[in-house]
Amino acid sequence: MKNIFKDFGTTYASSGLIAFIFAATGPVAIILAVGAQGGLAESDLSSWIFGSFFINGLISIGFCLFYRQPLVFFWTIPGAVLVGPALGHLTFPEVIGAFIATGVLMLALGLSGWVRRCTEAAPMPIVMAMVAGVFLRFGTGLVHAVRDDVAVAAPMVLAFLILSYWKSLARIVPPLIGALVVGFVAVALLGKFQMDGKEFALSYPNLYQPALSWQAMIELVVPLAITVLVVQNGQGFAVLSAAGHKPPIDAIAVACGAGSMVTAFVGSVSTCLTGPVNAIISSSGEKQRHYTAGVLVGALALVFGLLSPIFVRLLLSTPSAFIAALGGLAMLRVLQTAFGVAFGGKFALGALVTFLVTVADVPIFNIGAAFWGLVLGFGISWLLERADFRK
């Protein structure tokens, strides 16, 4: 414990706090939208959020402490989007049965070592081009936030720039924390908090009995596994590797499989290694101390899971421009690194194809565009950039 507190500091506290706020706002809104689309009750949504935060928070704390790396686990956002249409013709217990089967498949693949071998064989520029394509919307979201609500977003950007320029002050107040505080003050002064008077409630998770449905297995299991192991975990591996970390790929796949099996029983979609959150907490500070920010995110996730109705309503009561600006500022350095690795040398054409396909965001066979971007980018490089493979 002494070593953990010694490694901790304001930089890692701010990174962890911003990363957690990111996870607890926009992604939670996606769960709420998917649940509404699928006709889920409020208790189902509360239970889903509890599993996504509390159980994955426990996994995150364990991995961050054991490996001394920022290894934060949450849930697959594309997977949650995939579940929405399925709930139109499948029951929730049938979908939960598919979640459990997906966890079993990922656990087996992680134990086999197949995930690590495939990940290590992927050219890093192509993977980082996929990351750049996925995260680009956060950068453009920052621009749109300034356009749509300049009174909230512009002071946040200004505070971020001043603190980034003024290095001595930034050591006391990190730029992201400064932007967060200024944003809250602007929202409060402008009276833009939209409370509904129902913010005080506790989370009571449900325990579901899964149902076997071959239709659900065929429709969901393989796309969910690909989304987690290739797209979501691929983002996490890429951003952590770019920051100098060496994530334990097979152990992470095993954790995703086991975590998905456990969270399924409370109605949560599959567990994954989160890309955006790990990108934020590994973007600043000393590499060997990044894990403390991950521990903080995990601890906050435990509290959020237990009190999810309270925090969901509080965070979603802020203007959308506030969340968009905060996420965009947090992703600036990540995008800079992603573009630099993707287009700074080998596999440039394959990386460009991957980036364009990912940004186009056209799913095929219920599998997200990021996966197809990787496939097409790798194929183009294999055909036209053979010399880079030989190098």
Backbone phi and psi for residue 271, each to the nearest 5 degrees, phi listed first: -75, 145
114 located within any domain: yes
pLDDT at position 196 is 59
Query: Percent of the chain scored above 90 by pLDDT?
Result: 37
Q: How confident is residue 278, by pLDDT bands cut at 50, 70 and 90?
A: very high
Q: CA-to-CA distance for 333 and 5, rounded, in angstroms?
A: 26
User: Domain range for residue 29?
Assistant: 2-334
266 located within any domain: yes
346 located within any domain: no
230 located within any domain: yes
Backbone phi and psi for residue 146, each to the nearest 5 degrees, phi listed first: -65, -40
Q: CA-to-CA distance for 247 and 379, rounded, in angstroms?
A: 26
106 located within any domain: yes
Burial class (CB in 10 A: 0-12, 13-18, 19+), 211: middle
30 located within any domain: yes
In this structure, is the dihedral angle defined by the CA atoms of residues 50, 41, 78 and 334, taken in order, positive or negative? negative
Query: Percent of the chain scored above 70 by pLDDT?
Result: 94
Q: What is the 3-state secondary structure (H, E, C) of 199-253?
A: CCCCCCCCCCCCCCCHHHHHHHHHHHHHHHHHHHHHHHHHHHHHCCCCCCHHHHH
204 located within any domain: yes
pLDDT, one tens digit per residue, over 112-122 is 988 888 777 77
Q: How confident is residue 294, by pLDDT bands cut at 50, 70 and 90?
A: very high
pLDDT, one tens digit per residue, over 233-266 is 988 998 899 889 999 999 999 999 999 999 999 9
> In this structure, how many other beta carbons lie within 10 angstroms of the beta carbon of residue 64?
25
What is the average pLDDT score of the chain?
A: 86
pLDDT, one tens digit per residue, over 135-174 is 788 788 899 999 999 999 999 999 999 988 887 787 777 7
380 located within any domain: no
Give the residue among 207, 205, 223 at the shortest CA–CA distance from 98.
Answer: 223
Q: pTM of the predicted model, to two decimals?
A: 0.75
pLDDT at position 251 is 95
Structural domain total, the chain: 1
Q: How confident is residue 26, by pLDDT bands cut at 50, 70 and 90?
A: low
